[in-house]
Structure 1
Amino acid sequence: MIHLQRAQVALHYLAPVATALYFLISRAVASCFLQQGADKQPKRRWRLVVTISAGVILTFVAGGITAARETLTEPSAYLPQDFVAYLVLMLVVLGALALNLSDDAKPLWHTYAGSWAIALGSEIALLVCYLVSAAPSDVFTKIHLVLQSLRIGLLLCAATTGAYFAWSDSRRRIMLEEENETEESDSLLASDEESDESDDENAYGFDEDTSPDEVEDLRALRKQQLRRVKEAGSWFNYLKAYKIFIPILWPSDNRMVQASLVVSVLTIAAERALQVLVPMQLGALSEELAVGAGNGQMPWRSIGLWMLFAALNSQAGLPMVQEIIKVPIMHYTRQRIMTASFSHIMNLSMDYHNQKSSGELIRVVELGSELQELLDFLCFNVLPVFADLLVALVYVYFLFDIYMALIVFITCLTYAWIGAKVSVWTARLLRDYNTTMINESRIQNEAISCWAAVSQFNRTKLESERYSTAAADHRKAAIKYYLAWSFGGGAQSFAMNAGHLAATTLAAYRVAQGYAPVRKFVTFAAYWLTIEIPMYEVTYSVRKITQMLINSERLLELMTTQPSVVDAENATELVVTHGEVTFDNVDFAYDPRKPTIQGMTFTAQPGQTIALVGETGGGKSTTLKLLYRYFDVAAGQIRIDGQDISAVTLESLRSAFAFVPQDPVLFNYSIRENLLYARLDASDADVEAACRAAALHDKIARMPAGYATVVGERGVKLSGGELQRLAIARAILRDAPVVLLDEATSMIDAETEALVQAALGNLTRGRTTFVVAHRLSTIRHADCILVIKDGRIVERGSHDELLRVGGAYTSLCRKQYMEVKEEPLVDL
C-alpha cells in the first residue's frame, strides 16, 4: 500500500513534467532540423482535435471543482498536495498545448500526439493505482474515477487522431516527392517574401531608435541567416559554425583573464545566494523584533547580518565587483575577436576583396564587438536570470508549500506567454511602423538631396504634400503599434500583480492560520522582487539574444570564408638564383564563361625586361596578378627558376617582387614610414638614396617636415607624379630580384620621366622585369615586347622587329600618333 501511495505521488509530479518536456524537446528538435507540418491542412482537423482537447481540459476543471467542493463539504477531508499539484499542472500543460495548436498554422502532429500519449499513459497508471489501493466508497471518489475514465477515453482519441494525422502528412509528403523529386511538399524555410511578412519583426523586432538603414540591414542579415540555416540543414549545424570562435575567445594565454573568469563565476553564485539571504534575514529580524517588542533590547546581530547581506547585494557590493571583473574579460574578448577578424580579412584573397567595399569590411570588423556583447549578455545576464527563476521556485516551495510554488510557476508562465503573444500580435503593426518610417525618411532625403530639381520644376508644394502624407502614415502606424505594445505591457503587469496578490494572500492566510510564522511572510514579501525582475529579463533576453545573433551573422560569414589562394600542404620556400620566369600554357578566367588568359606561353630570361602591351582589358595586368599569385591559374604553370609558384609559400614568393602599381596607395603616415614599408630594416641613407634614384629627394628636402611629412589618406597631399615617384622609390628600396611595373610612369611629366627612366634603368639592371605600359615610347628598349589581345599573345619581339612586321604593335603605335616610316623606325 505504501509503495502504491509513493507511486501515485511520483506520477502526480512526473506526469505533467514528462508531458511538457516531450512537447518542448520534440518541438525544439523539429525547429532545429527545420521541420514543418504539411501545407493546406483541412480546418476540420483543428476543430476536431481542439474539441477533444477542450473536453480533456474540462475534465481537469471538473476534477478541481469536485475536489474543492469535497474540501468545503467535508472538513475532515484531506486533499494531498501532490494531487492538487497534478490537477493544476496538467490543466496548465494541456491548456498550453491546446492554445499552441489553435495558433499553429502547420502543426507537426507527432509532437502533440506524443504528449497526449504520455498523458494517457500517466492517467491509466494512476487509475490502476487508485483501483488497487482502495475501492470507491463515497460519491466524490466515484466522481473522480468517472472523470478519470472519461479523461482516458478523450486522451486516447486525441493521441490516436494526432498519430493518424502525422501518418497521413508523412504519406502525403512521400507521394509528392515520388511525383517530383525536385519539389518538396513544404519548404524548409519561408521564402524571402514570407520572411519579410512573418519572421523579421515577429522574431526579432527593432528598437524604436533603429534607423531605416539599420532596419533594412537587419532584414538583409535575417534573410542571409535563413539561407545559411537552410544550407546547413538544421539550426544545430548552423550554430555549430560558431565553434570557430572558441579558440579565439578562450584566454589560454592570459592568466589575469582566467582568474577574472573564476572570480566572476564565484561572484555570480554569491549574488544568487544573497538574493535569498537578504529577505530571509529580514524575516528573521522582523520575528525577533516582534517577539522582543517593548523589552528595550536591540537584535544587533540580526540587524548587522541583514545590513551586511544587503550591502553585499547593493550596487556598492558584489554587483560592483562583478562589473569591475567584467572589464578585463570584455575587453580581452573584444580584442581577440577584432584582431582575429582583421587578420582573417587581411589574409583573404584578391577575389574576395574585389567583391567587397572597404566600408563593408570595416563594418564587419566592427560587428566583432557585437559577438563580444552577445557572450557577455549570455554569461552575465541570461544564465543568472534562469538560475534566479529556478531558485525562486525551489525556495518558495520550501518556504511555504507546493501551492506557493504553483502560484509562482503559473504567474511566470502566464507572464511569458502574454509577452510571446503580444510580440506575435504586434508583428504586423511593427512591420507597418517600420515601413512607414522608411518611406518617410526616403521621401524626405530624396526631396532635400534633389532640391535643385524640385526648385527647377516648381514642385515644392507637391513634395510637401507627399511628405505630409508619409508623415501622417508614419504617425498612424506608430500610434497603433505603441498602443498595442502598451496594452501588452499592461497585460503582463496585470498578470504579475495578480500572481503577487494571490501569493501574498496565501502567505498571509498561512500565517493567520498558524501554519507559518510571521517571518516567512516578511521574507516572501521582500523576495517577490527577485521573481519580477528575472521575468522581465527573460522577455527582453529572447529578443536581445536573437538580434545579437543576427548582427553577428556577417562576422560568422567572414570567419568561415576561406582564401582561394593558400599555401600548398608541403609548400617550400622560393629560392631565386637567376630570376628566370616561365609561363607555360597558362589559362585563367575571372568568370568561367569569359576566358581572360588563354594558352599564354613565354620565358623571361634572367635580367630581361618583358613589356606587355595591348588594348585595355586584354589581360596585361592580370598577367602580373597571376605572377604575384593573387589568383591561381586554371591550367598550365608559372615557374620561377624552375619552381612552380603554386608549390612555394606565398610569403617567400611575394618577397621576391618589387611592385610599382599604376595607382600607388600610401598609408596616412610620414614619407619615411611609407618608404620603410618596402624594407623595414632599411637605414635613412638607404631611404634617401632610393629617393634620389627616383628624382624625389630634392622635392622632399624642400618640404617643411622633410621625410617626416604626413602624406594624408591614400597620399592625397601629394601630386600624381609625386605619388608614382614615391612608389618607384619604394620599389628601389625593396631591392627584389623580380620587378613588376604597371604603368609606372603614367602620371609623370616628360621632364621628370627622363630622370625616372634613368632610375628605372638602374632598378631593372640585372633583374628580371615585367612592364605593363600604354605609352609605348616607354618600353621601346625592352628586350621582348608581348602584344596581348583577348588574353592571347598575338605578337612578340623587340620594338624594331615588331614595327618591321607591321602588325598589331604597329597599329597600336599609329593610334598613339607615332610616325611609322621606313628609315626612322629604329629611332622611334
Structure 2
Amino acid sequence: MLSVRLAELYIPLHFPTINRPQETVSRYTSTMEGGVVSQLLIVLRYIYPFLTLLYFIVASTIALCLPPSDIYLPHRKNTVSRLLLLVILCFSLDGVLGVAGIIFWRLWPTQEDIFGLVSCIFTFSIIAQSFRGASPVITWHRLHGTWAIGFFCDILTAILQCISSQDTHTVHHSKTLLLFHASLAYIRCALFGIIFSVFLRQDHQRHRCSPSEEAPLLPSPDLSSSSVRVDIEATSAMRPGSKSDWLRRFQKLMILCPYIWPQKNHGLRIRIGLVGLCILANNGINLLIPRQYGILVDFLGTSSEKSPWLQVVIFMTLRLLSSEAGIQFMRRMLWLRVEQYWEKALSTAAFSHIMCLSADFHDSTDPTELYMAMMSGNGIPYIAEMACFQAIPTMIDLIIAITYLSIKFGPYEGLIIFATTVAFIKFSLHTISSAKNQQRQAWERRSDEKKSQHHGISRWFTVVLFNQTEHAISSHSKALESRLLASKDVRKSHDISSAIRYLISLVGLLSSIWVVVYQIHSRKATAGDFVLLLSYWGQITAPLGFFVTLGREINQQLTELERLADILHQLPSTADTAGAQPLRFFSGKVEFQGVGFSYDGGKSVLDSFDLSVPAGCTVAFVGGSGGGKSTILSLLLRAYLSQKGSISIDGQDIRHVTQQSLRSIVGLVPQSPQLVENTILENVRYARRDASDHEVHEACKAAAIHDQIMAFPEGYQTRVGGCNGKLSIGQIQRIGIARVLLMNPQIFLFDEPTSALDADTEHLIRGTLESVCKPRTTFIAAHRLSTIMNADMICVISNGKIIEQGTHQELISRNGKYASLWLKQTSM
C-alpha cells in the first residue's frame, strides 16, 4: 500500500498537468495562472538556474586562462563551502515543503516550481563541488557573479511570493506554504550576504596585513632575515604561480600556431572554410535524421492510404548524405591537403630549429628525445581533426538535441539530458585532469624505453666488446617493465572511469524513457516519438563517449607536444645579434683578449686567456687533457660563446658577425670526424657541394687516402657512415682532413688531426698540411709534439692559461714544461 501511495504522489509531482484533481490544482495555482506577479515567478523559475550556471561556466572557462588574483587561506574556502551547503539545504527544504503540501493538503506544485527547484539544487551542487580539492587557492572572481545572481533572484522571488500570499483568492494553506517558501528565499539571501561579508572581511584583513605597507622603511635589527625568508617562502608555497597551469601550457603551445594557420596560402584557407560548411551541413542532417525516423515509424504504423515511399526516399537520402560516402567524404578530401601542409610545416620547422641550436644544447640533449619530440608534431593534424570534426559538431548536436527535446517533451526532458551531459562531461574532465600526471609519467617511461633500445643498438660494438649483452637486455627489460606498469595505471584509471560514465548515461536514459513512456501512455506522445528519443539519445551519448576518448588523446598529444614546444622555445646561445654584418676577411690576424669560459657555469675552462696571432702564423696548443685546447678552437669557430673577454678576426669581434660568414672562412678538423650515410665521394664533397670529382680526388691524395679508397671494390662509391664499419679510425680521420682541404678555408683549425695515424702517414700528411697552411693562419691542438714542432708559435696550456710560449727550439732551451713533455715522448 505504501508503494501505491508513493506512486500516486510521485506521478502528479513530476507530471503536474496529467491526471491531477482539477479542484486541487485550481486552489493552489489560482494566483499562478494569471497576472504580472505569476508571470514573473514563472520566468524566475527558469532564468534563475540558467543565468547562474551560465555565468559560472563562462567565468570558470575564463579563469582557466587567468592567474589567481590573490592568496586566500584555507579556512575562507571552508567557510564559503559550508555556507553553500546551507544554500542547497534551503532549496531542499523547499522541496520538503512541496511534498508536505501534497501529502497533507493536496496542494500540487506547478511544473515551473519543480523544474526551478531541481535546477537550482543541481546548479549550486556543481558550484559547491568546485570547492573540493587540496588547493587553498580559489579564483574567487568567477564566483562573485553567482552570489549576486542568487541574491537578487532570491530576494525578488521572496517579494513576489509574499505579494502572492496576500491575494484574497488564495486558500489559507497555500498562503502558509507561500510564506514558508518566501522565508527560505530570505534565508538564502542572508546566506549570500554572509558570503559577501566574508569576502569583505578577508579583503580588509589582507589589506591591513600587507607586508609591503606595514614593513618599516629600515629593517629592525631584532628581525632576522631567516624569519622573513620563512614567511615569504610560506606565502609563496600557497600561491600556485603567477600564471595558471592552463595559461602556461597555452602560452607554451602558442609557438606552434604560425605553422598551423596557412597565412599566405589562399587555397588552403578556402579549403578550411569549405570544411567548416561541411561540418555545419552535417549537423543539420544529424538533426533531421531522428526526426525523419520518427515520422517514418508513425507513417508506417497508421492505416493511411498515402504512399510511404516519399518518406522512405527522404530518409535514405539523409542517411546517404551523413554517411562516409556523402558529406564526410567531401570533408576528408578537402582536409587532406591541410593535414599534409601541417605535417610538412611542423616537421620542417622543428628540424631546422634543432639544426640551428648551439652546441651546448646538443651536448646536453639525448638525440632519441629529439626524434620523439619531432614525431610528436604529427599529433597536430590529429588534434585539429578531432576538435573540428568531433568536438565542435558534438557540442552543436548537444545544444540542438537539448533544445528540440525540451520543446518536444517538455522541460523535464531537457533538464534530464542537460544534467546527464553536465555530469558526464564534468566527471570526464576530472578524470582527464587527474590522469594528466599518469600520462606524463607513462610518456617519460616510454621515452626511457626508446632510449634503452636506441643506446643498445647504436652502441652494439661497445656492448659486445665488454661482454655486457646481458646487462643491456636487462636494462631494456627494466625500462619496458616500468613503461608497462605506468601504462597499466593509466588503463586501470580509464576502465574505472568508463564504468562510472556508463552508469551516468544509463541513469539519464532510464529517466528520459520514464518521461516519454508516461506521455505515450497518456496519449500525449506517439510510438514514433519514443523512437525519436532513442535515436537522439544514441546521437548524444555516442559523441559524449567520444568526448572522453578525445580528451584523453588530446591530453596525451599535448603532453608530447609540450616537449616539442620546449625545444622550439630554446634559443641558440650563439645566435647572430641584431644588425650582425658578414665578416670581412683581410689577412687573418686573430686576437684573444681576456677570454673566460666555463661549461654550464661550472669550473672555468679558460680564465683571462690572452693571445695575439699574426696573420699567416701557425699556432700550436699543447698540454694535458682538459686544459682547454679544444675549447679554444670551439670558441674561435663560435660553437660556444665566451662569458668574458672577446675574440676578434682582423679587428672584428666574432660575436658581432654572422655565423655563416665566420664558418665559411674557418675550417675545423675535429678529433673524431663524423661521416654521413653516403658514399666516400659525397662525404668528402660535403665540405663544398659544388666541387668536381677531380677536386675531391686531389684532396684525398693530399690527405694520403686516395690509394686506399681506390683499392675498395666500389672505390669512391663505397657507402660509409652510420653503422657501416668499412673504414678504420685513421681512414675516417684522413677523410676529415680531405674535407677541410677541399673546403680551402682562410683559417685552419686542427684538433688532434693525426692522433690515429701511423708515423709514415703522419709524415706525409704533415708535409702536405705545412705547404697548404703556410700562407694561412692555422691553429693546431695536439698531444703528439712531432706534429707541431715546426709551428711558428707553440703555447703550453694548463688550467686555461698559457704557461709557456715560443718556438720549439726556444721552449726546449728553457727546460720547462714543454721540454719535459718532449723528453717523455722522444724517450719512449
Q: Relative to structure 2, which stretch is displaced further, 748-757 or 297-306?
A: 297-306
Structure 1 residue 700 displacement after superposition: 1.2
- Residue by residue, what CA displacement relative to the aligned partner does 1:307-361 show, whole Å, maximum 9, x if unpaired? 0111222233333444444433333212222221111111111111111122222
Match of 1:90 in 2: 120
Whether the 8 Å contact between 2:80 and 2:195 is mirrored in structure 1 is no
Residues 1:146 and 2:209 aligned together: no
Match of 1:16 in 2: 49
Which of residues 257, 277, 284 is equivalent to 1:266? 277
Distance 1:104 1:738 in 2: 63
| Aligned-partner SS, 1:187 | helix
Residues 1:561 and 2:570 aligned together: yes
Match of 2:346 in 1: 337
Match of 2:556 in 1: 547
Match of 2:222 in 1: none
- Residue by residue, what CA displacement relative to the aligned partner does 1:688-714 show, whole Å, maximum 9, x if unpaired? 111111111111112111111111317
- Residue by residue, what CA displacement relative to the aligned partner does 1:220-258 show, whole Å, maximum 9, x if unpaired? xxxxxxxxxx47566324412322211111123445543
Distance 1:276 1:91 in 2: 31
Change in Cα spacing, 1:779 to 1:252, as seen in structure 2 (3 Å) is same
**Counterpart amino acid of 1:120?**
F
**Counterpart amino acid of 2:404?**
Y
Distance 1:714 1:660 in 2: 21
Residues 1:53 and 2:50 aligned together: no
- Residue by residue, what CA displacement relative to the aligned partner does 1:753-789 show, whole Å, maximum 9, x if unpaired? 1221122123313211111111001101111111111
Match of 1:218 in 2: none
Distance 2:491 2:791 in 1: 73
Residues 1:184 and 2:217 aligned together: no
Distance 1:744 1:90 in 2: 81
Residues 1:346 and 2:355 aligned together: yes
Q: Give the alignment of 1:70-469 within 5 angstroms.
A: 73=106, 79=110, 82-101=112-131, 106=136, 108=138, 110=140, 115-132=146-163, 135-136=166-167, 137-138=170-171, 139-157=173-191, 159-161=193-195, 163-164=197-198, 167-168=201-202, 171=205, 175=209, 180=228, 182-185=232-235, 187-188=237-238, 230=241, 232=243, 235-293=246-304, 295=305, 297-417=306-426, 419=428
Which of residues 803, 807, 824 is equivalent to 1:798? 807
Distance 1:715 1:324 in 2: 43
- Residue by residue, what CA displacement relative to the aligned partner does 1:281-323 show, whole Å, maximum 9, x if unpaired? 1222233333444x3x532221111001112222333334444
**Counterpart amino acid of 1:93?**
T
**Counterpart amino acid of 2:713?**
P
Match of 1:206 in 2: none
Change in Cα spacing, 1:566 to 1:714, as seen in structure 2 (3 Å) is farther
Structure 1 residue 36 displacement after superposition: 9.0
Residues 1:697 and 2:747 aligned together: no
Whether the 8 Å contact between 1:348 and 1:564 is mirrored in structure 2 is yes
**Counterpart amino acid of 1:287?**
D
Change in Cα spacing, 1:609 to 1:401, as seen in structure 2 (3 Å) is same
| Aligned-partner SS, 2:719 | coil
- Residue by residue, what CA displacement relative to the aligned partner does 1:146-178 show, whole Å, maximum 9, x if unpaired? 223223214423541574278448847985967
Match of 1:499 in 2: 508
- Residue by residue, what CA displacement relative to the aligned partner does 1:30-55 show, whole Å, maximum 9, x if unpaired? 55425797566499848953652342
Q: Relative to structure 2, which stretch is displaced further, 119-128 or 535-544?
A: 535-544
Whether the 8 Å contact between 2:68 and 2:137 is mirrored in structure 1 is no
Q: Aligned residue pairs: how many? A: 741
Residues 1:62 and 2:92 aligned together: no
Structure 1 residue 27 displacement after superposition: 4.8
Change in Cα spacing, 1:689 to 1:102, as seen in structure 2 (3 Å) is closer
- Residue by residue, what CA displacement relative to the aligned partner does 1:604-651 show, whole Å, maximum 9, x if unpaired? 222221111111111111111111011222233222122221121110
**Counterpart amino acid of 1:14?**
I
Whether the 8 Å contact between 2:432 and 2:551 is mirrored in structure 1 is no
Whether the 8 Å contact between 1:117 and 1:156 is mirrored in structure 2 is no
Identity %: 29
Q: Relative to structure 2, which stretch is displaced further, 685-694 or 326-335?
A: 326-335
Change in Cα spacing, 1:153 to 1:59, as seen in structure 2 (3 Å) is same
Change in Cα spacing, 1:73 to 1:5, as seen in structure 2 (3 Å) is closer
Instruction: Could you tell me which runs of 5 or more consecutive residues in structure 2 were left unpaired when the two chains were aligned.
Output: 1-33, 216-226, 454-473
Distance 1:108 1:153 in 2: 25
| Aligned-partner SS, 1:766 | coil
Distance 2:490 2:347 in 1: 41
**Counterpart amino acid of 1:115?**
T
RMSD: 3.9
Change in Cα spacing, 1:634 to 1:388, as seen in structure 2 (3 Å) is same
Distance 2:760 2:433 in 1: 74
Distance 1:695 1:58 in 2: 95
Match of 1:779 in 2: 788
Change in Cα spacing, 1:387 to 1:154, as seen in structure 2 (3 Å) is same
Match of 1:210 in 2: none
Whether the 8 Å contact between 1:109 and 1:165 is mirrored in structure 2 is no
Distance 2:692 2:77 in 1: 84
Distance 1:269 1:814 in 2: 86
Whether the 8 Å contact between 2:699 and 2:742 is mirrored in structure 1 is yes
Whether the 8 Å contact between 1:50 and 1:101 is mirrored in structure 2 is no
Q: State the TM-score, normalized to the length of structure 1.
A: 0.80
| Aligned-partner SS, 2:610 | strand
Whether the 8 Å contact between 2:678 and 2:719 is mirrored in structure 1 is yes
Structure 1 residue 100 displacement after superposition: 4.5
Distance 1:782 1:15 in 2: 91
Distance 1:767 1:715 in 2: 35
Structure 1 residue 120 displacement after superposition: 2.3
**Counterpart amino acid of 2:91?**
I
Q: Give the alignment of 1:550-589 within 5 angstroms.
A: 550-589=559-598
Distance 1:174 1:234 in 2: 30
